[in-house]
Each structure stands twice: as C-alpha cells, then as structure tokens.
Amino acid sequence: MNYRHSFHAGNSADVVKHCLLIALVRALQQKQSALTLIDVHAGCGLYDLDGEQAQRTGEATQGVLRAFADPNPLLDPYRAAVQAVNVGSELHLYPGSPRILAQLLRPQDLLILNEKHPEDVNTLRGAMRDTSAAVHGRDAYELWLAMVPPRTPRGVVLIDPPYEQTDERSRITATLTAAYRKWAHGVMVIWYPLKDRATHSRWKEQLRKLNIPKFLTVEHWLYDRDQPGIYNGAGLFIVNPPYAFTQALPPLLEALRAALAPEGHRGEIITDWLGD
C-alpha cells in the first residue's frame, strides 16, 4: 500500500485520528505534570487542500468538509484546530498531526517530531519553524525505542506509518513489545488502515497475545459491507488510554460515525479491549 499523505490529507481517517488525538492529549492534560508528545512518522506537517495531489483524490470532501458541515458541538475542538491554520472561513490548508500537537502544547510540554523521507523532513522543518518542536530525520522505529521513557513524567508516542513495507505490522509489533518493556505506563497510539477484516483480525490477535493490560482498539468502518480491494476505513490502537478519555469516547465516536458515513451507508465505529 503506497500512502503519500499529501494525496489523503483531511480524509475520514484524518478526522477520526485527529479528533481522538485531541481528546486524548486534553484528557492527559487534566494533570499538571509535563507531557512529551512524540510523532515518529510526522510527514510534512501541513498540507495544501488546493494542491494537485489533494485535488486528484478529493478525499477531503468526504472527511474534513463533512466534519465542518456537521453541527455536532463534540467536533468543535477538531474544527478549531483545522481553522487555526487557515485564514477566513474557507479551508485551504490541513494540519497534520505535528501542527495539531503543537497547538495543544502547554508551557511545560515538549514536542518531538520525526520523518525519515528526506524531502518531507525538510518540508516539516519549514512547517514547524514557528513552534518549539524538535525535528529528527531518523528511522521511526529506532527513534521510538530511543525516546522512551521520555524525560518528562508522562508522554504520548504516535505511530502513524505509511504501510508501504510488507513488514510494517511486524516491525510495529516488535517495537511495541520492546517499548512496553521499557515504558509500561506510557501512552502509545498506533494508526492503521482497514482494507479487509481478515488481515486486520489476524494482526489484532497477534497484538492481543502481547498481554498488555490496557490496550484499546478503535475501528472506523466506513461501509456496511467490505468493499474488496479498497480502503474501508482506519483505526487506532491505544496503549494505556486515560480514564477521562475512555469515559468521554462513546458520544464522540457516535458523532464521528454520523458525520462521516458515506451516502447509503450507516458505517460503524467499534471499540475493543485487547488486554485482560
């Protein structure tokens, strides 16, 4: 699967990912102690919705534009984050996770970004020059292990790979296993695409065998039936989600399902605990 994010910026997967990421960080910030936010596949940081690549797919029309057209106030924090990188009411730019995380920083918090692609890391540095973020150009899995546990009392690692390599899932599984040994109380968030239920179920069972006690999965299925060979949705694995986040999750997920359901489909967002 080739996933250059400039083609997909602002799609339904971004809406769900970024809504949940904002809710997660805000739940953690109910405590005053400092957070380190680490994005190991940071991408370009900011995307042009009017650009040729975004216009070629038109995926933002089924994602961020639907979220802006929906009146549910539970989507307001997400809409505010997107609006913050735009001037006026029209949307021309879409913030990637680095720009959204930068907006959430308190004075005591830190932001560490990483992008291995040489062109994209240069673009990322330009997009983040007005922030305090540290930007690296290293292998994502090497950096993930090197940065945990962080220097601050608490932290979040976001793993959001392109899934271009056939061994991507096995590398995530191996690195998660090692990272959890080093940092058992840390919060780690893994994004994944959903192309078919069988492939996803096999990976989920492998992760279940890691016996991580607090291991939540959130699956957003766009269609009522699998559409063979195409993108069917996306989800997040979340290690150690805070209680305030999980308690507020059901109404937020219902708001997202309703806002993003394609024409003729109801869609579904499923949560499941992989731990005991």
Contact 18, 64 (CB under 8 A): no
Q: Please spell the DSSP secondary structure of 87-155, one letter per residue.
A: SSSS--EEE-HHHHHHHH--TT-EEEEE--SHHHHHHHHHHTTTS--EEE-S-HHHHHHHH-S-SSSEE
The residues with which 271 forms a beta bridge, in sequence order, are 218
Distance CA 94, CA 184 (A): 33
- Identify whether 70 is a catalytic site residue: no
CA–CA distance from 253 to each of 9, 231, 260 (Å)? 20, 19, 11
Q: Provide the b/e sequence for 105-135 (b: ≥16 CB within 10 Å).
A: beeebbbbbbbbbeebbebbeebbeebebeb
- Please name which of 100, 98, 93 lies closest in space to residue 64, comparing C-alpha atoms: 93
Rounded to the nearest 10°, the torsion over CA 62, 77, 100, 156 is: -110
In the set 160, 167, 272, 276, the catalytic residue is 160
How many of the other CB atoms lie within 10 Å of CB of 178?
Answer: 14
User: Which residues carry out catalysis?
Assistant: 160
